[in-house]
């Protein structure tokens, strides 16, 4: 018996993130769609999990479909956890965010950091179906390296690999990355949910 794919709207306007999720979700009976172009959700939560929940619930309600949201960011030890939940708003563009972060770390010996990704799947009726969180430890490089990925990927060297996310293929990033790790926790639960739906 073949299942009709369920629509899953990715609560993001970030094309790189949507492509990453399409690759992660391609084994599941889902039709993956981006959120409507004119949608902008205020991320007012104080944690990654709270922001993911806000986005998933808002987009699910607006589209009438299940929605998957992630909120992820970079927390740098020497900057007391900044940029944290403000990672995407740390500066207007990726190159400016990278430049600001490298400037803030100038002269600091401690460069340890971690990426955190919180994932939330919500239904249009306002219920939260699934929530998970994944982390990836690493350090901030002195200069950007690599041309894959987006955001802070060129300056985040993954612990134990000597490579930045921007130097990794999507497959490697899935294995090492915070979003990939969160998805590894989410996938079996999502698969079970789909089999019951």
Residues with a known catalytic role = 71
**Integer angstrom CA distances of residue 123 from 50, 63, 126, 164:** 16, 10, 6, 35
Do residues 17 and 41 lie in contact, with contact meaning Cβ atoms separated by under 8 Å?
no
Residues in a beta bridge with 131: 120
- HSE of 182 in the Cβ direction (CA atoms, 13 Å)? 27
Q: Which residue in 13, 141, 20 sits closest to 74, CA to CA?
A: 141
Q: Kindly calculate the radius of gyration of the chain based on its CA atoms and give it in whole angstroms.
A: 17
User: For residue 62, how many other CB atoms are within 10 A of its CB?
Assistant: 16
CA terminus-to-terminus distance, the chain: 14
Contact predicate 120/128, CB 8 Å: yes
């Amino acid at each position: 018996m073949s299942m009709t794919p369920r629509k899953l709207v990715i609560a993001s306007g970030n094309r790189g993130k949507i492509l990453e999720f399409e690759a992660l979700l391609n084994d599941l009976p889902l039709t993956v769609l981006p959120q409507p172009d004119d949608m902008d959700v205020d991320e007012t939560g104080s944690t990654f999990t709270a922001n993911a929940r806000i986005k998933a619930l808002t987009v699910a309600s607006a589209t009438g479909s299940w929605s998957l949201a992630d909120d992820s960011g970079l927390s740098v030890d020497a900057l007391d956890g900044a940029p944290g939940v403000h990672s995407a708003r740390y500066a207007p563009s990726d190159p400016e965010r990278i430049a600001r972060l490298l400037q803030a770390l100038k002269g600091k010996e401690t460069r340890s950091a971690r990426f955190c990704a919180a994932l939330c799947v919500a239904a249009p009726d306002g219920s939260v179906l699934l929530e998970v969180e994944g982390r990836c430890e690493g350090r901030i490089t002195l200069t950007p390296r690599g041309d894959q990925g987006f955001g802070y990927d060129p300056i985040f060297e993954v612990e134990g690999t000597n490579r930045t996310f921007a130097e990794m293929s999507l497959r490697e990033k899935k294995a090492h990355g915070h979003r990939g790790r969160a998805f590894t926790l989410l996938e079996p639960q999502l698969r079970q949910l789909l089999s019951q739906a």
